[in-house]
Structure 1
Amino acid sequence: MSSVIFLRQIVMCTLLSMLFFASASAVVIEDLYDAKVPVTDQAEATQNKAIKQALKQVFVKVSGSQTLLNDEKIVKHLSRASTLIRSYSYERKLNQLFLVVNFDQEKIQNALRTAGFAVWDKRRPDTLLWLAIEDKQQDKYILNADNQPMFVQRLIEQAQIRGIRVGFPLWDLNDMQLVDVYTIWGGFAQQIASASERYDHKTLLSARIYFESIDPSNDNSGKQQWLADWTMSDNGQVTNGQVSGPQSDLLADEIINVVAQQLSDKYAISQQNRLLNAVTTKIVINNVNAISRYAAVLKFLNGLSVVSKATLISQQGEKATFELELLGNTDDLLNTFRLDNIITPVSSSLEQEQTNLEFKWAN
């Protein structure tokens, strides 16, 4: 069996497993505070350099942003990266040695917050990717694991580095009846959204990828690049833009960076928001009709990064009223609820949802 065919089979298995777990639009990322860095040996100098690189990965994953690595306070933390470690070990896969580092969650969060950066909860949206590509021969086709296994594998690996999950359409008969390459190329968002309903992802990204030779008459004479025009929809909010790269596989990194940045901008709780907009609010949750369900609701609420403390203050029949001390504001709380269908609003009106704060417990 050739290495290319073997790689395609691995990628397809990975994609299928990702689609199977994505029955809800939010997943829990358990390895936010872990990083794995390739090393050549176990020498102290090599280890110190690798620990610094691992801390960079974790800072980016937990905050959702790459720009913080240029911040003076973060740079100081990087210079003493070993003080933030909980444990480390070495691991060998095939012929490559890795340093595996686990950082202290509380210390990482404190470092980010004291530097003024956001902390992003481990519950994060899945993003469904619809991609089309035009090759250098100007042939357009849908990009998938069969025809671009290396590109798809790089998307998956880069998503893991950024602390997010991405999924891909099955491209079975149902998908092909609703979407073709020209649907993606033309950016027909409504058709793509309709085709995405079966996957239960609230976050979608479609992109057309193509090669461009820049006009040699300008200052970038002879320069060539790959471009991706992307459109992203998150709970109906649409943004778009363009990224570029000198090689098509590097464009995969840029696409994932877009997804991570867009999601963290919305869902990560910034230190400024924590300090200026922190509030105490009350919410009513229906269907709380047993001690076990009350315990599940309380555990869920206290597990949210936007909630500092949740307390039951009254119970009338199946309606439980909780007081929440928020590390942010009500909009941050509602954004967190919208990640999945565990707690859903009683009213379908957004305005009424924001004033009444009455929900149903569906778990």
Structure 2
Amino acid sequence: MCLSLLKAMPTTAITEFRNLLMFTRIKNDLKPARSVASLCAFIFPLVLVAASTGSATASTVVKTNAAKVPVDDQSAQSRRAALRQAMEQVLVKMSGTESVLSHPAVRSALQSPARYLSAYQFDYEDGQQYYAGEFSRKVLVELLREASLPVWGQRRPDTLIWLANQENRDKWILREGQPGELTAVIQKASQKYGVPVTLPLMDLTDNSAISVYDVWGQFGSVLNQASERYRPEFIIGARLHHKPEDAAPEFLSTEEKLEKALSDSNLAFAYSDEKSTTSTGGDNEAPHNDNGQQLGQSRALEDTRFTSDTNLAETLQSESGVSESDTPTSETAPEPTIPARSGSGEYALEWTLLEGADSQFGVVRAESAELALTQFMQLYSQYLGERFAVSVDADADTTGEVVSISVANLDGLEKYVHAQRFLNDMSIVKQAMLSEQRGSVATFEVRLVGTVSDFVSALSLDSQLQPVRDTFGRPLEGHNFYWNE
């Protein structure tokens, strides 16, 4: 066991361990033959500390049980109308989909929204009066679960949007705090759906790392490198411009596709399945890089959806030790994707979604630039809801799965309380109870309302509870975590 732990340690941790061990032997004349237990006890904390220092997924805690609605006055009639609208917004944020509002149980609950209201007040922002309502999250979660509707937790992945906009012949990148309708559209959608979205600062650092032509061309490698300082979970590269639907044919020859891609960086037409098997040869070969994200390796599937080969659900199952046979359904649900083509109109928002090595591509059309961006934000928010919200069949076995997890670095009563509260606050957790304690390592029995895979996926968005990993970034056997506080 000690050797396994030692192998899991990064090189820097091994060096530190060796130096400390030499110091200990000099000071205490430690004999290797009689100190195996001491050695194991010495190595284990080093593995935990070293493994927990890796980069964590960026995410934000969103207050999903609160909403603000603009009102004209504070009359009783305005309050009643605003109360219902606020509850509708909260239910959309908590479920991740607007379709929840058409469910009979939800429609019934909306007839008496005051039953779910915890507090309200009136706010003023930029001369506009708002009704701000806060609802009981616990009661609304029970409502959604009893109706077998999805529940999306408060921890949400961060998204960075690189948006290149074209007006007439000018192109520019939308930046954080920039006044205008496009910024307002993104902010409004972020608040409505509870999706944390960031725009780049476009300061000296950003301008030296990326140009408007990189964003316009949707070059994945450049977008990834320029986004490192923001540490987002998802990266969106998009270009927004006036482009009639008949401006460019969708089916071009290989040479025409390459010529068009080189002239205006239109990656959506720079690739076809025939390019992967037919080489242009010589000087006509399309440029590429090892990551497959430059021109010649860009992907645009000819059906209605674009998706990468990597299946996140399968990855999470392998990490958590849960196989497909362990899940209650006989068929694996398809991985959610964003529709590759949506809407119609004179304006086009052509987008690329990057998540690590995975990518999706598509286009949204509308009659105005603002409407195209609004529709895309709606599609993207719905996609995230499908990815991370958890649905439970109320008629099925309600006991749920039970998983035992070990949490290290709980060296005080306050940390134990915080860790248990953290687990119980997760929407996928029905109950978390302390079952064993050994020093600073605690074992919790966690009863879930979903699957272990859903639980692991939810934890991946938080930096407080990090899995203990080996030097290759793989979680150690079992469900072992390190508490960061």
Shared fold (TM-score, shorter chain, > 0.5): yes
Instruction: Tell me whether 1:289 sits opposite 2:411 in the alignment.
Output: yes
CA distance, structure 2, for counterparts of residue 226 and residue 347 of structure 1: 46
Matched position secondary structure for 2:158: strand
- When structure 1 is superposed on structure 2, of 299-308 and 238-247 the one drifting more is 238-247
Secondary structure class of the residue paired with 2:110: helix
Q: 2:69 aligns with which of 31, 37, 40?
A: 37
Q: Aligned partners of 1:267, 1:99: CA distance in 2, in Å?
A: 29
Residues 1:25 and 2:146 are matched in the alignment = no
Q: Determine if the alignment matches structure 1 residue 249 to structure 2 residue 365.
A: no
Pick one of 448, 455, 462 that aligns with 1:326. Answer: 448
1:1-363 to 2 correspondence within 5 Å?
25-30=58-63, 32-92=64-124, 96-135=128-167, 137-145=168-176, 149-215=180-246, 224-234=345-355, 236-272=357-393, 278-348=400-470, 353=475, 356-363=478-485
Deviation at 1:159, TM superposition (A): 0.6
Q: 1:145 to 1:284 in 2, by over 3 A?
A: closer
> How many angstroms apart in 2 are the aligned matches of 1:103 and 1:327?
22
Instruction: Please identify, of 353-362 and 89-98, the stretch whose mean Cα deviation from structure 2 is larger.
Output: 89-98
- Compute the TM-score of the two structures, normalised by the length of structure 2: 0.61
Return the letter of the residue paired with 2:61: V
With normalisation by structure 1, the TM-score equals: 0.80
Identity %: 29
The one-letter code matched in structure 2 to 1:125 is P
RMSD: 3.1
Moved more, 347-356 or 296-305: 347-356
Query: Shift in Å at residue 141 of structure 1?
Result: 2.6
1:326 maps to amino acid:
L
| Contact 1:275–1:328, Cα closer than 8 Å, also in 2 | no
Task: Indicate conservation of the 8 Å contact 2:468/2:476, yes or no.
Answer: no
Please state how far the C-alpha of 1:83 moved relative to its aligned partner: 3.3
Unaligned runs of 5+ in 2: 1-55, 248-343
Measured in 2, the distance between the counterparts of 1:150 and 1:274 equals 46
Q: Deviations over 1:277-325 (max 9, x none)?
A: 9310111223333333333322222222222222222234443322211
**Residue of structure 1 equivalent to 2:9:** none
Distance 1:243 1:71, change over 3 A: farther
| 1:259 match: secondary structure | helix
State the secondary structure of the residue aligned to 1:297.
helix
Provide the C-alpha distance between the structure 2 equivalents of 1:209 and 1:305, rounded to a whole number of angstroms.
36
Higher strand fraction: Structure 1 or Structure 2?
1
CA–CA distance in 1 between the matches of 2:65 and 2:474? Answer: 38
Aligned length: 333
Q: 1:102 to 1:28 in 2, by over 3 A?
A: same
C-alpha change, 1:215 and 1:195, in structure 2 (3 Å) is closer
CA distance in 2, matches of 1:362, 1:44: 47
CA distance change for structure 1 residues 148 and 49 in 2, over 3 Å: closer, same or farther? closer
